[in-house]
Chain A
Amino acid sequence: MTVHDDRSARAPARRFGARLPGVVWLTLVWVLLWGTFTPLSVVGGVVVGVLVTALFRMPQAPTRLPVRPLRLLGLVAYLGYDLVVSGLEVSWQILRHGRHARGAMVVVPLLTRSDQVVTAMANALSLAPGMMALQTDQDHDVWYVYALGPRDRAGVERARLRTMDMQRRVLAAFGSPAELAEAERRIAAAGAKR
């Protein structure tokens, strides 16, 4: 029961502190939605933010991730670039192959154990060219990714390597150093095998 005691012993102020980022974010969204920066819209945003975070509690104490701002910025820029490439590549598939387009369901090693990082990776992956994370299997540390475009084994391997590289980029932005090092080691190994 020590876990329970520890939780209830938390000061209310600290619990509110955990909600603060959510409140700030919701206030910002609220103000942007109204499109006017006035005292009324800001106060309204804060009220809504407090209400929403109070009514819809996030799971208790998510583990803190080491966020590296510069790498995060790099990731965002890469995702923007990826989205353009992605749009062009899928368009190419549509025009070139159309009804005869092929795809592949690829199994890719999952390079993290953190739920938050998995979520970020899945979203990042789905922006990558013609790919989509379909299913994660955290018992076996793999996930299944659908890729549009591969027509042979080499294409499949390229898709697999690409998803691993995307995972590495996400880990570089906010993953534990150990997982990042492991990711780099496995990508080097996978690259050497080809």
Chain B
Amino acid sequence: MNAVLDIVSAALLLLGALSCLLGALGMVRLPDLLARLQAATKPQTLGLLLILAGTALRVELESAATLLLVALFQVITAPVISQLAGRSAYRIGAVRRDLLVVDELADKVPRNPPS
């Protein structure tokens, strides 16, 4: 029973680490801020949740409850931060328009590119 738990926990931890690694890779490889924000929020969040789940299996219940809180706040806050950063970036013209297949927001938002 304990061995099974160990294996599941290890698998979760490794999967989580892999997901975080991919997120970090995305920060380097992806071309602009909006795309990088996706890498910073999606694989990163998934990775953190997997690592938390893997950890929760190996610690006593009380600590696991605290981990639940970490997971909750990550899921609630990450979208808000990325949305704020993304919108600010768009407004100051820090978004590479040439990388967008369509930009239906153009002309709707006052854009002040830094001169």
Contacts and interface: CB of A to CB of B under 8 A. Distances in A.
A102 B104 contact: no
A87 B45 contact: yes
A58 interface: no
B108 A137 contact: yes
Nearest to B96: A103
B35 A101 contact: yes
A32 B83 contact: no
A84 interface: yes
Contact of A132 (B31, B32, B46, B79): B79
Given A87-B42, A126-B41, A134 B90 contact: yes
Contact of A133 (B62, B83, B102): B83
Interface residues of A, number: 47
B25 to A, nearest CB: 6
B80 interface: yes
A106 B104 contact: yes
Contact of A32 (B39, B66, B78, B103): B66
B7 interface: no
A100 B79 contact: no
A33 B86 contact: no
Interface in A93-129: 93-95, 98-107, 122-123, 125-127, 129
B105 A94 contact: no
B45 to A, nearest CB: 7
Contact of A127 (B23, B69, B79): B79
A126 B103 contact: no
Contacts of A99: 29-31
A144 B49 CA distance: 28
A37 B79 CA distance: 31
A104 B102 contact: yes
B34 interface: yes
Given A83-B46, A100-B31, A133-B83, A90 B99 contact: no
B1 interface: no
A123 B54 CA distance: 25
Interface of B: 19, 22-23, 25-26, 29-32, 34-35, 37-39, 41-43, 45-47, 49, 62-63, 65-66, 68-69, 75-76, 78-80, 82-83, 86-87, 90, 99-106, 108-109
25 contacts: A32-B65, A35-B62, A83-B42, A83-B49, A87-B22, A87-B42, A87-B45, A93-B38, A94-B30, A99-B30, A101-B99, A103-B35, A103-B100, A104-B101, A105-B102, A106-B104, A123-B80, A125-B79, A126-B41, A126-B82, A127-B45, A132-B82, A148-B34, A148-B35, A153-B101
